[in-house]
C-alpha cells in the first residue's frame, strides 16, 4: 500500500514544530531582561498558612503571597474561610490536608463529601485525576458507593445515611483506581472516590464511611519531578511559568534570563550594560532561523523525490511503527482471507464525505456507504481516543477469522495514522435495539411478532455458540446487547462490534481480565467481582439472558413502567410472578404457540442470569432448550436470593395478552 500522500502532512507538522522551537523560542528570548528576581523569588521556600494549618508549597503550586509565575496555571491553592486549604482539579474542589516536604506527594479529600458522604442527587461522580499530572500512591484504593432502590445480597458492605430528609441505605465496593466496578441496574447515584488502605481498615471495623473519606487519599504530582522541570532543576534552574503565554513553562536561571527550554549555563555575571549579550543572542536567533528554513527546504525536496519512488524504498527510508509491523504480520497470517484495506480518502468517497449517518455511539459514528461495485456498506468510524492501533488490529483480526450467518461480515478496514474505520455488510433494518427499546411497543414491533422475536433469539444463540465453540480459537464477545445485534432485510440477526472481545484457546474457557468490560445492565457479576466465579464464556451467556428478557418485556429491564418501585426491575418482576403462578401480561395478542415461545424465552433468560457462572447453561444447551418442547424445560433456580421462597411451581404460570 502506497502511503506517499500520508507522509508529507505528518512530516511538515513535525518540521513546523521543530522550526517553532528552533526559531520562535530562541528569538523570543533574545531581549535582555532583568529577571533575576524570578529566580530568587521562586527558589525560596514558602509556607502558606491558613488558620492553624500550614503548607510548604513549591512548583507547580502557588497561592497566598507566592506569585503565579512560580507555579502552573490551575494549581493555585486557596485559603477557605481561614480554616483549610483548597484546590480545584477537573471542576472538583479538594481539601489539601498535607504536603510532603521531602517528596512530591500530597493528601487531598473531596470537599463536597466532607462530613457528608451520603450520595445525593447533585453529587458529582468526578472523573479520576489526570494521569499525566498525578499518580495515585500504592496505598490508595477506589471506593465506590451507591444509593440504590434495593440492596443486593452480593454486596454485603452496607451503610446508612440521610440526605434531603431521606434515610438512605447504600453499599460500597472496593477496587484499584484503574478498575472501577460498574453501577448496578437499580442504582440512581454512584460515586467513585480514592481512599487510603488504612482508612479502609478502619471502615471495615467501624462501618463509618464519612471518617474514611475525611482521611483523604495520597497522590504524587508529576510536574515537579518529570521533564522539563526535572531537567531545569538539574541544570541549576527553578521551574516557573510565563503568565503572558497561557502558562507556558519557563526555567528561571541565574543568568538573568527565563528559558522556554532548559539551557541554564554557568553562574556567570552578565555584561554591565547587557548590550553585547543581547546582540549575540540576536545573531544566534537569526542564524537558527536561517537553518530552520533550510531544513524545511530539504524536507520538501525529499518529498518530491519520494513521490515517484517505490513502496519498498519508502519502507526502507522510514522507520516502521509497531502498528505497521503488527498490521503486516496480520496480513501475512491471514493471506487472501484478510479483509481489504482502504485509504481514508476511499472511505470518504464511499460515504459521500459521511453524508448519511446511521447512528452514533461511544466508539464514534456509523455511516451508510457504497462500494465501487454498488454494494451497500455500513462504515463505522472510530474516535481517535478509543483505544490504540493494537486494539484496532486485534478487533479486525477477530472478525476476519469468523464466518457464520449470525455474525456480521467485515468487508474492509482503514488504519491510516489516527484514522480508523471498519466497513461492514449493510444491515437494512439496523439494530435490534430500536425494535424493543421504544415507548410505543405495539407500533415498533409491527414487523416483530412473537415468532420473529423467537427466531431472532435463536439466531443470536447460534451465533454465540459458533463464537464459543465453532472457531479455531474461542471468541468471548463481552458486549452482547440489543444495540450490537444487527438485522438484515429478512430480520436475520447478526452479532457485531467485537471491540471488547477476547480470544482464548478452544480447550479452555477461563480468561484473565485486568479491567471490567461491557455495558451496564448486561455485565455478568463475576466480571466486576471475582467472588462470584471466574470470567469465561458464561459471561456472554449472562448478557444474552438479560437481552432475551428485554426482548420479552419490550423495553429495558430497568424501565418496566409500573408505579411500585420494588417491581421496577423486570427480571425480578417476572420471576416473582412465575413463582406465584400469576398471569403474566405481555404485549400483543398471542396464540397458543406464541405463548410457548414467550415462555421458552423467559425460562432461557432466567437460566442465563444465574448469579454463579457454573449454574448457567452453555449456548448449545440453551439452543436445545429453545428448540425443545416446553414440557421438557427444567425449572430455573431463583436468580435473586433475596426473593421469598417459591410458593408454586413455575410451570403452572400462565401468559396472556395485555
Domain range annotation of the chain: 1-32+270-318, 37-74+232-265, 76-221, 322-425, 433-657
Catalytic residue check, 479 = yes
- pLDDT, position 265: 60
- pLDDT, position 445: 44
- pLDDT, position 115: 83
The pTM (predicted TM-score) of the whole model is 0.51
Total count of residues recorded for the chain: 658
* Cell triple for 115: 462530613
Interatomic CA distance for residues 46 and 240, integer angstroms: 14
Low-confidence stretches of the chain (pLDDT beneath 70): 1-36, 119-127, 147-158, 164, 169, 175-190, 244-247, 255-258, 260-263, 265-285, 303-338, 362, 384-391, 437-447, 506-509, 512-516, 555-569, 577, 579-589, 641-658
Q: How far is CA 571 from CA 139, 216, 321, 601, in A?
A: 39, 39, 49, 12
Interatomic CA distance for residues 283 and 104, integer angstroms: 40
Give yes or no for a contact between 223 and 72, defined as CB atoms under 8 angstroms apart: yes
Interatomic CA distance for residues 189 and 296, integer angstroms: 55
**How many Cβ atoms are within 10 Å of 147's Cβ, its own excluded?**
21
Short-list 164, 158, 170, 258, CA closest to 207: 158
Among residues 256, 326, 479, 540, the one annotated as catalytic is 479
- pLDDT, position 315: 34
- pLDDT, position 210: 83
- pLDDT, position 495: 95
- pLDDT, position 605: 93
Interatomic CA distance for residues 654 and 584, integer angstroms: 6
CATH code for the structural domain at 433-657: 1.10.510.10
**534 phi, psi to nearest 5 deg:** -85, 150
Interatomic CA distance for residues 519 and 544, integer angstroms: 12
380 has binding-site annotation: yes
3-state helix, strand, coil in the chain (%, to 5): 35, 25, 40
> Which CATH homologous superfamily contains domain 322-425?
Phosphorylase Kinase; domain 1 (3.30.200.20)
- pLDDT, position 31: 41
- pLDDT, position 648: 33
* 322-425 against 433-657: fold identical: no
* Cell triple for 147: 444509593
- pLDDT, position 395: 74
Amino acid at each position: 500500500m502506497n502511503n506517499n500522500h500520508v507522509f508529507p502532512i505528518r512530516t511538515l507538522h513535525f518540521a513546523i514544530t521543530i522550526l517553532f522551537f528552533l526559531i520562535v523560542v530562541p528569538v523570543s528570548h533574545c531581549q535582555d531582561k532583568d529577571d533575576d528576581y524570578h529566580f530568587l523569588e521562586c527558589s525560596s521556600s514558602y509556607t502558606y498558612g491558613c488558620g492553624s494549618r500550614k503548607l510548604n508549597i513549591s512548583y507547580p503550586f502557588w497561592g497566598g503571597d507566592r506569585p503565579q509565575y512560580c507555579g502552573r496555571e490551575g494549581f493555585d491553592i486557596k485559603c477557605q474561610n481561614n480554616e483549610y486549604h483548597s484546590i480545584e482539579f477537573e471542576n472538583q474542589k479538594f481539601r489539601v490536608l498535607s504536603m510532603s516536604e521531602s517528596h512530591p506527594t500530597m493528601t487531598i479529600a473531596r470537599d463536597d463529601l466532607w462530613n457528608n458522604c451520603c450520595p445525593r442527587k447533585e453529587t458529582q461522580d468526578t472523573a479520576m485525576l489526570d494521569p499525566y499530572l498525578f499518580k495515585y500512591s500504592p496505598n490508595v484504593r477506589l471506593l465506590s458507593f451507591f444509593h440504590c432502590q434495593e440492596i443486593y445480597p452480593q454486596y454485603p458492605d452496607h451503610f446508612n445515611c440521610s440526605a434531603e430528609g431521606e434515610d438512605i441505605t447504600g453499599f460500597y465496593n472496593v477496587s484499584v483506581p484503574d478498575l472501577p466496578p460498574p453501577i448496578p441496574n437499580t442504582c440512581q447515584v454512584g460515586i467513585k472516590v480514592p481512599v487510603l488502605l488504612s482508612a479502609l481498615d478502619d471502615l471495615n471495623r467501624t462501618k463509618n464511611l464519612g471518617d474514611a473519606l475525611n482521611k483523604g487519599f495520597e497522590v504524587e504530582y508529576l510536574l515537579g519531578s518529570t521533564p522539563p522541570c526535572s531537567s531545569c532543576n538539574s541544570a541549576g534552574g527553578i521551574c516557573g511559568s510565563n503568565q503572558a503565554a497561557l502558562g507556558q513553562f519557563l526555567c528561571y536561571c541565574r543568568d538573568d534570563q527565563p528559558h522556554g527550554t532548559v539551557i541554564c549555563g554557568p553562574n556567570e555575571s552578565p555584561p554591565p550594560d547587557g548590550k553585547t549579550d543581547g546582540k549575540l543572542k540576536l545573531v544566534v536567533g537569526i542564524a537558527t532561523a536561517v537553518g530552520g528554513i533550510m531544513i524545511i527546504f530539504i524536507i520538501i525536496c525529499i518529498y518530491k523525490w519520494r513521490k515517484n519512488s517505490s513502496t519498498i524504498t519508502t519502507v526502507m527510508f522510514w522507520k516502521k511503527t509497531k502498528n505497521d509491523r503488527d498490521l503486516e504480520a496480520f496480513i501475512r497470517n491471514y493471506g487472501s482471507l484478510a479483509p481489504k484495506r482502504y485509504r481514508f480518502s476511499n472511505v470518504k468517497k464511499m460515504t459521500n464525505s459521511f453524508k448519511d449517518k446511521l447512528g452514533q455511539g461511544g466508539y464514534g459514528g456509523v455511516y451508510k456507504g457504497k462500494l465501487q461495485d454498488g454494494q451497500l456498506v455500513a462504515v463505522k468510524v472510530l474516535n481517535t481516543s478509543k483505544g490504540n492501533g493494537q486494539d484496532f488490529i486485534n478487533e479486525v483480526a477477530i472478525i476476519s477469522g469468523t464466518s457464520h450467518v449470525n455474525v456480521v461480515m467485515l468487508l474492509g478496514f482503514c488504519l491510516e495514522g489516527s484514522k480508523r474505520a471498519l466497513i461492514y455488510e449493510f444491515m437494512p433494518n439496523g439494530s435490534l435495539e430500536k425494535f424493543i427499546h421504544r415507548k410505543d411497543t405495539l407500533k415498533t414491533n409491527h414487523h416483530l411478532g412473537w415468532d420473529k422475536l423467537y427466531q431472532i433469539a435463536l439466531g443470536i444463540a447460534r451465533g454465540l455458540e459458533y463464537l464459543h465453540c465453532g472457531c479455531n480459537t474461542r471468541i468471548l464477545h463481552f458486549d452482547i446487547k440489543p444495540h450490537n445485534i444487527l438485522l438484515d432485510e429478512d430480520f436475520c440477526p447478526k452479532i457485531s462490534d467485537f471491540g471488547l472481545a477476547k480470544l482464548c484457546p478452544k480447550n479452555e474457557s477461563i480468561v484473565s481480565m485486568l479491567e471490567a468490560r461491557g455495558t451496564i445492565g448486561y455485565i455478568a457479576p463475576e466480571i466486576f467481582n471475582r467472588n462470584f466465579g471466574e470470567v469465561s464464556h458464561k459471561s456472554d451467556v449472562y448478557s444474552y439472558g438479560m437481552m432475551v428478557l428485554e426482548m420479552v418485556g419490550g423495553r429495558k429491564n430497568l424501565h418496566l413502567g409500573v408505579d411500585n418501585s420494588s417491581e421496577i426491575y423486570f427480571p425480578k418482576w417476572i420471576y416473582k410472578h412465575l413463582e406465584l403462578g400469576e398471569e403474566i401480561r405481555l404485549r400483543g395478542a398471542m396464540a397458543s404457540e406464541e405463548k410457548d415461545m414467550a415462555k421458552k424465552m423467559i425460562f432461557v433468560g432466567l437460566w442465563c442470569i444465574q448469579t454463579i457462572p457454573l449454574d448457567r447453561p452453555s449456548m448449545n444447551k440453551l439452543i436445545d432448550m429453545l428448540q425443545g418442547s416446553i414440557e421438557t424445560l427444567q425449572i430455573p433456580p431463583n436468580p435473586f436470593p433475596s426473593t421469598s421462597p417459591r410458593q408454586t411451581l413455575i410451570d403452572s404460570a400462565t401468559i396472556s395478552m395485555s
